[in-house]
Amino acid sequence: MGNAESNAYRNHLSRFLPEEQSDIDGVFDTLSGLSGSAGAKNGKATKKTVTLAALQAYMREPLPEQMTVRLYNGMKSIDLTGKSSGLSEQIAKEQFVIFMSNLLKGNADEKITIIMRMISKAEGPVKGKQIQEFTEDLIMSVVHVLSYRKELKGWSLENTRDSASGVKALASQLLSELKLADGTKPVGPQMMETNFDQSVIEDWVYRVPQISIFLSVVIRQGLHVLHSLPDQTKDILNLVPGCKGIKRRGLVSLFDIPSIIYINSHLPAELQHKWQLLFSSRLHGESFSQLCGHIVNKGPCIVILQDLDGYIFGGFASHSWEVKPQFQGDNRCFLFSVFPSLAVYTYTGYNDHYMYLNHGQQTMPNGLGMGGQHGYFGLWLDSDYGKGHSKAKPRCTTYSSPQLSAKEDFALDAMEVWAVGDLPAAAKGKKSILDVDPEAQALLEMAGKTRQSAGLREPIEEDEDDDDDI
CATH number of the domain encompassing residue 159: 1.10.238
Q: Report if residue 244 sits inside a domain.
A: no
Q: Are strands 242-244 and 274-280 parallel, antiparallel or unpaired?
A: parallel
**Distance between terminal CA atoms of the chain?**
46
pLDDT at 212: 93
Indicate if 213 and 287 belong to the same structural domain: no
Please give the Cα distance from 62 to 54 (Å, whole number): 14
| Total tally of structural domains belonging to the chain | 2
State the amino acid at position 210 in one-letter form: Q
Residue 343 CB coordination number (10 Å): 17
Please give the Cα distance from 283 to 303 (Å, whole number): 15
Least confident of 232-236, 303-307, 340-344: 232-236
pLDDT over 70 at 389, yes or no = yes
Domain housing 351: 266-420
Indicate if 386 and 310 belong to the same structural domain: yes
Indicate if 220 and 74 belong to the same structural domain: yes
Please give the Cα distance from 75 to 90 (Å, whole number): 9
Indicate if 165 and 303 belong to the same structural domain: no
Q: How confident is the model at residue 36 (pLDDT cuts 50, 70, 90)?
A: confident
Q: How confident is the model at residue 450 (pLDDT cuts 50, 70, 90)?
A: very low
State the amino acid at position 211 in one-letter form: I
Are the C-beta atoms of residues 205 and 115 closer than 8 Å to each other?
Answer: yes
pLDDT over 90 at 239, yes or no = yes
Q: Report if residue 452 sits inside a domain.
A: no
Are the C-beta atoms of residues 16 and 96 closer than 8 Å to each other?
Answer: no
In DSSP terms, which residues pair with 314 in a beta bridge?
304, 336
pLDDT, mean over the chain: 87
In terms of pLDDT, which residue wins out, 461 or 108? 108
Indicate if 180 and 279 belong to the same structural domain: no
Indicate if 200 and 323 belong to the same structural domain: no
Indicate if 230 and 277 belong to the same structural domain: no
Domain boundary among 234, 252, 281: 234
**Rg of the Cα atoms in the chain:** 26
pLDDT at 222: 93
pTM here? Answer: 0.87
Indicate if 100 and 26 belong to the same structural domain: yes
In terms of pLDDT, which residue wins out, 453 or 420? 420
Q: Report if residue 179 sits inside a domain.
A: yes
pLDDT at 35: 73
Indicate if 225 and 272 belong to the same structural domain: no
pLDDT over 60 at 337, yes or no = yes
